[in-house]
Structure 1
């Protein structure tokens, strides 16, 4: 293998894909964050942005911890580690193509892969359990049901019977936590905790079978003292609404059934060529690598070390983080892997719900409140390693180091070429073969007006304008603000289409222009494919034909579109900015705050779920919203982009010859936007937008308002701002909400032009009239 002799900067030479956000993978991310491997790109694929720490879950259920205290923010951790975060779920592996198949996005390429997705309760193995029982995993679904149960019990007095199926430490600990929390909630409302009854079912002869007799005895006493029915040697064979059946035919009443047993590997693993054990777990050797595919590793509950089988316990997943990271690093740099042997005995700290815990290790049994405090300290220190992250270095402070990645001769030549001085002009184009391969599997929608397009490529596209139609033209282009090229492609296309929809037009064709960082051809090809796959999906949904484009090399990933639209010929068909009329109300179809949130994300100052919600909003098309606004009499409309809410509203008031009033309290905000603004985290475009503050009457009086900075926050793929007759506003909002624009709101009204020069009036919850709608 030949190594390039020059520093390779931030080039991606090899891809390590981490499937799942379990305890082992968070350890891998942290180790790569502390010691990056130049030339190696990490990608984390996980359905959930916030992954729970299993050791603190019972404490969360018992009410001792908040949601954020027991969850690791994977998006934030990935950003810190320089890894890409793809929020999706793996459903298969194409071993030949070396790709991970995902539920909602194109396949993701890997050079090496690791799987850490935990176990899956096999509720389908027992009739009715899948429908009527609540599996403790995946934990996000359990949490949703747990919150529902809390609300129901608090709101509706009456007897409730709770059954937990599974007599291991997990089942016992969870039952005691639920009993403690629910009992306290009832007592706080002056109700009798005896309304609740709890039962534990296990097919084993005893509870906690892997722990010593003293530990088992202590928990038997605890359960008996708290009035829990314990059914040992009782296998549950059938579940129905309100009851479950034991193997001996006896039925037991149960209003809520929690399933903490019969775990196995995810069903999709059966369709891979990975060696699995009888329970569907991935078999791995001493290096944590699959013997059936040397490019795939596995760890945590989903893996079974063939030579060192162990109980499924979080301690093993945590301790596999270091050896897995070291062996992934060794694999990608062509060095020998090192074996890992897990310990034979381990310390388990099992809580009893009430800030009391039992320590178990071998024959050891210790108990007391002090054990819980010991456990609490251990857990909090563990979480701090992944959630208390230091600030990110400023852009440009990162340094390049020589890469140790093993390359073949052709790859080495490509890598050296990528860091050398590149040609300008047409020499900066991405190679034709790379581009054609990347786009070959995409299928842009076909329109009959397109005479020459991607289906028959030529020097330029030829598109017919239908009779009775006028053309609408727009263009947008910006660099990537998120590390997922597929999602970025969707947002970029959606952003470009917004101008067309705001005009009341139908999108017809689009031409793309993209900039892709230099690198190995395979990596460039994959980036173009992922990005354009997302963009084409959005264009196709809008019935907009991609007819051509240009892709060149540059320092940063960027994408834009020139979009053509069609509108009925005639002077009144377009929905312009100059149509505001006094007496109308202003409707905004999406919440604002993308600028501050993504500035915070780059500085590790945003929670992952805030970014998830922002991306969901940015990926929502404004096509249906535009039609709805027109149907309800809108006379003016614009889409919110870089100038922010105030800038775009000023653009509407000037040609309309009116003033406008905004109710700051009514503004729909993305979750977290007010927090990040309060922390002083603003978009780099914010200062330019703030210059428009002179358009605000009594501006000085509003500077300290917590929502004031969000008037200037630049938006990407923002919502539509439109004016509609006041008498039709409520019906318009109802229709928008029904279409999925859940945060659409009336945010102000249009006024007659006053004598003052400033056209914008601000209020705080003082809108009057029937059209007022508060969030």
Structure 2
């Protein structure tokens, strides 16, 4: 990944991790454009490669072999990764609406979300059929179908709706896998019946006659019953109905029909064709909104082509070049789709049919060639090169328009001290966008233009206060704000306190005024998403500009004097309860090195976004005697603080420790947090160090946690119920 200190001049947002966008990310990683900030918005962290999906379904590939991990790829490209689904677009204000987070601004937008089988117009299809897209949902449904088939007895009928290449491949691949599983269990694979329904007079209508004949023969050899001229009009539980035909019994229905577009592009006012796909010119740019691009299945080109990943892959380099050109004000270049392309269609087993124009061929060697081509393609994105630090990037001034150049020219001369504060106008706009919450015991808060917050402490209660502040370790500003708020509030909940108020401390990177405003807004919106459910109000704070994003909060809480939890309350015979899994330190150290899988990081973020408030309430119900939150000093460091204060020893069952997915793997690979060596000095507190140190999970005792869980001692008789 190329690191640049150039201030942000323009924002390029990529929607979807499709075949074109993975090429865009890789190429920007190889040759970044300083001043252009990339953001990837994706519903799936692991994007499937469509060419290998039938092989995965058939059991020839594992999950990671046929999925591109967008986490390391986004980091390689220097792109912010926003995990979410687009719900709307306002092209005029250049705002993208994403579920569960604030809108995202863009200067340039590129859309590569793929398509979905059209089920909306067929009654019952959405309820009783399993569509092949979105692929992640299909794969979950496929696993459930495997369980149904293997648990069944007697005849089991599967109907595949769609006679194109996708339907034929899926029918043969699923049949191969299911029959193989039944045979391995000593069951009769012949009890599985397959039907392939197509609305036209033949299968594979866009391929040559030779290809069609080959597949009609293969389908016959595999006992797949072919039903042509079957326009499906209804799907219901246990059956499929087609116009002019008797009802077709089916215990399961796989849906692989013609593609349909997402609804939000048309609703946003983008020019779309009759099917809802985004109309683009030869440069892959929207014909109605310059600065918005589309590629792959979601795009409708002037010279239409089949909905195939082959074309999306070929569009990637042209799309990358045109996004660079659009960012720097240069003329765009056209994409010229190939007339013919080599299609390799698998037959479920390790055998394939080749198709190009009127020519066709088949054989096991063609499957081996397809396998080699597919694996080589995947290697480009899952085995990313190490880039030299001194690679010469393009000039940042080329990114910006004249107004941006004038604005950016002042950034190199930013002042320190109070001169580093975020400007009053920006701050005012941000505060006007944020919701204001109030509490009676916050006398003067964020809505009062005074020099300090004024708090009231109710009689008979104590004020509990803590502060946390750290540099960003993820590029998603909103999510970082959520995690930082959870991390800070953890100290209050570990003391048994009720959250009352918070003061925010934010450092946002240098950039254009709009960029600074959006960064500050996203940070505070993320923090408020955590503070408000906890009962705390944002009462004030301080913001400044700096070289990198950092955020923290001073948090205030209230507690009854006789209800305070201390670290020193552990009693002999108590049991230890930990409310969150360990591993954030090693996982994010691995993420910085692009060695962590995207799903590992996503699971870790989900854990960090989980509040400790409910966990604290649960521990209170089960009479916890002492409590702390596990953060920077790791589990062992914080536990030693408790044992020393309580004057007790503890026995840790290391095998019982909950771990985040992937943490054991990254520790085994020797990837540890930079704070680990300092935490490791505390190993002198371990009695049987030689034996304990041999456990593979031993390093995780010293792993620094961000927004970690609560560690509490609970009476032994209450521990299991508490868990």
Compute the TM-score of the two structures, normalised by the length of structure 2.
0.98
Give the whole-Å Cα distance in 1 for the aligned partners of 2:348 and 2:48: 18
Shift in Å at residue 275 of structure 1? 0.8
- For the 8 Å contact 1:577–1:656, the answer to whether it is kept is yes
2:431 pairs with 1:439: yes
| Structure 2 CA distance for partners of 1:67 and 1:585, relative to 1, 3 Å | same
- Which residue of 2 is the match for residue 312 of structure 1? 307
Task: Provide runs of 4+ in structure 1 moved above 4 Å.
Answer: 396-401
The Cα of 1:438 is off from its aligned counterpart by: 2.3
Secondary structure at 2:478's aligned position in 1?
Answer: helix
For residues 438 and 214 of structure 1, the distance between their equivalents in structure 2, rounded to whole angstroms, comes to 64
CA contact (8 A) 1:282 1:290 kept: yes
Map of 2:246 onto structure 1: 250
2:526 to 500, 522, 534: 534
Shift in alpha-carbon separation, 1:391–1:651, aligned structure 2, 3 A: farther
Structure 2 counterpart of 1:600: 590
> What is the distance in 2 between the residues matched to 1:680 and 1:392?
22
Partner of 2:323: 328
Q: Could you tell me how far 1:260 is from its partner in structure 2?
A: 0.5
1:57–1:270 Cα change, 3 Å: same
Q: Could you say if the C-alpha distance between residues 60 and 389 of structure 1 is closer, same or farther in structure 2, counting changes exceeding 3 Å?
A: same
Matches within 5 A, 1:293-442: 293-306=289-302, 308-391=303-386, 402-420=395-413, 422-442=414-434
Distance 1:642 1:326 in 2: 44
What per-residue deviation string (whole Å, max 9, x for no partner) do you get for residues 391-444 of structure 1? 476xx8787763143434442232122123x32211111111112222321114
Instruction: Supply the distance in 2 between the matched residues of 1:375 and 1:412 (Cα, whole angstroms).
Output: 49
For residue 216 of structure 2, the aligned residue among 213, 220, 224 is 220
Determine if contact 2:33/2:393 at 8 Å carries over to the other structure: no
For the 8 Å contact 1:60–1:70, the answer to whether it is kept is: yes
CA contact (8 A) 2:634 2:702 kept: yes
Q: Which moved more, 1:22-31 or 1:429-438?
A: 429-438
Aligned residues: 721
2:549 aligned to which of 553, 557, 571: 557
CA gap 1:392/1:728 in 2 versus in 1, 3 angstroms? farther
Please say which of residues 467-476 and 449-458 is displaced more in the overlay. 449-458
1:298-317 CA-to-partner distances (Å, cap 9, x unmatched) read 000000112x1111111000
Kept in 2, the 8 Å contact 1:592–1:710? The answer is: yes
Q: Whole-Å Cα distance in 2 between the matches of residues 97 and 178 of structure 1?
A: 46
Matches within 5 A, 1:744-763: none
Do residues 611 (structure 1) and 601 (structure 2) align? yes
Residue of structure 2 in register with 1:160 after alignment: 156
Q: Aligned to 1:281, which of 277, 286, 293?
A: 277
**Residue aligning to 1:456:** 448
Measure the CA separation in 2 of the matches of 1:524 and 1:573: 42
SS at match of 2:398: coil
Q: Which residue of 1 aligns with 2:207?
A: 211
Root-mean-square deviation (Å): 1.4
Counterpart in the other structure of 2:649: 659
- Please say which of residues 62-71 and 146-155 is displaced more in the overlay: 146-155
- Please give the secondary structure, in 2, of the residue aligned with 1:55: helix
Look up the SS of the partner of 1:495 in the other structure.
Answer: helix
Is this contact kept in 1: 2:182–2:189, CA < 8 A? yes
Structure 1 pair 636–158 and aligned structure 2 pair: CA distance change class (3 A): farther
Q: Quote the offset at 1:673 in angstroms.
A: 0.3
2:494 alignment counterpart: 502
| Structure 2 residue matching 1:355: 3-state secondary structure | strand
> Which SS does the other structure have where 2:47 is aligned?
strand
Pick closer, same or farther for the CA change 1:617–1:406 going to 2, 3 Å: closer
**SS at 2:241 equivalent:** strand
Distance in 2 (alpha carbons) for counterparts of 1:346 and 1:401: 35
Kept after mapping to 2: 8 A contact 1:585/1:723 = yes
Structure 1 contact 392–604 (Cα < 8 Å) conserved: no
CA distance in 1, matches of 2:418, 2:173: 66
Q: 1:354 to 1:339 in 2, by over 3 A?
A: same
Distance 1:407 1:81, change over 3 A: closer
Would you say the 8 A contact 1:281–1:302 is kept in 2? yes
Query: Shift in Å at residue 449 of structure 1?
Result: 1.6
Query: Does the 8 Å CA contact 1:510/1:563 hold for their aligned counterparts?
Result: yes
Tell me the CA shift for residue 613 of structure 1.
0.2
Secondary structure of the 1:64 match is coil
Distance (Å, rounded) in 1 between the aligned partners of 2:4 and 2:177: 55
Partner SS for 2:606: helix
Deviations 1:482-537 (A, max 9, x none): 01001100000010000001111100000000111111111111111111111111
Q: For 1:133-172, what aligned pairs fall within 5 Å after superposition?
A: 133-172=129-168
Deviations 1:614-645 (A, max 9, x none): 00000000101100001011011111100000
State the partner residue of 1:45. 41
* 3-state SS, counterpart of residue 332 of structure 1: helix
Q: Is residue 76 from structure 1 mapped to residue 66 from structure 2 by the alignment? A: no
1:230-269 correspondence runs (5 A): 230-269=226-265
Mark the CA change 1:8 to 1:387 in structure 2 (over 3 Å): closer, same or farther. Answer: closer
Partner Cα separation in structure 1 for residue 354 and residue 586 of structure 2: 46
